[in-house]
Amino acid sequence: MRFKTHLAFGLLMGLLFLEYSNEKDKILFIAFILLGSALPDIDTASSKLGSKIWPMSRLIEIFMGHRGIFHSIWLIILVPGIVYLYLSKIYGTALFVGYFSHVLIDGFTKKGVNFLNPFLNLRLSGFIETGSLLENMIFVVIILLDAFLILKVLF
């Protein structure tokens, strides 16, 4: 999936989660979700986030590959877990929601993801071609759902 689809889907998951949360600082909570929804693509230098830290992301891509360990259950748990333990439980949870949303929606692409990489193979792959008309249509639906939930929260 593309960056904008990951952000839109992360926001959707965050808004759904926020409805059942009593979090006071909703903006910072959503910011951590959006960060989490972009973070797994740090493993490719051509991503929005990866291009900001180009030398490091290029090395990660060379040695671990795109959609490798950064798109596995291990880092879905580890990265937000560190934030949860050492910074804030609520922001660690928000980072988890965003990170998980990224890997989940990548699982619906043709390339898919291996949730247990590099130890075992538990591959989830779907029917969506990244950048295709179908992805664009899904993006529009997600944006409409985001708008609905934002309006619901405001009014």
3-state helix vs strand vs coil in the chain, percent to 5: 70, 5, 25
pLDDT tens, residue by residue, 37-46: 999 988 888 8
- pLDDT at residue 128, as a whole number: 97
Residue with the larger pLDDT of the pair 22 and 101: 101
The DSSP-derived string for 108-148 is TBSS-EETTTTTS--EE--SBPTTSHHHHHHHHHHHHHHHH
Quick check: 111 and 41 in contact, CB under 8 A? no
Average the pLDDT over each of 12-21, 81-90, 121-130, 139-148 and give the range with the smallest value: 12-21
Backbone angles phi, psi at 153, to 5 degrees: -70, -40
Quick check: 6 and 39 in contact, CB under 8 A? no
- Give the chain's domain count: 1
The CA dihedral of 100, 80, 39, 62, to the nearest 10 degrees, is: -100
CA distance 43 to 57: 5
pLDDT tens, residue by residue, 99-126: 999 999 999 999 999 999 988 899 999 9
Domain of residue 125: give its range.
Answer: 3-154
The pair of structure tokens assigned to 145 is 């759902």
Average pLDDT, the chain: 91
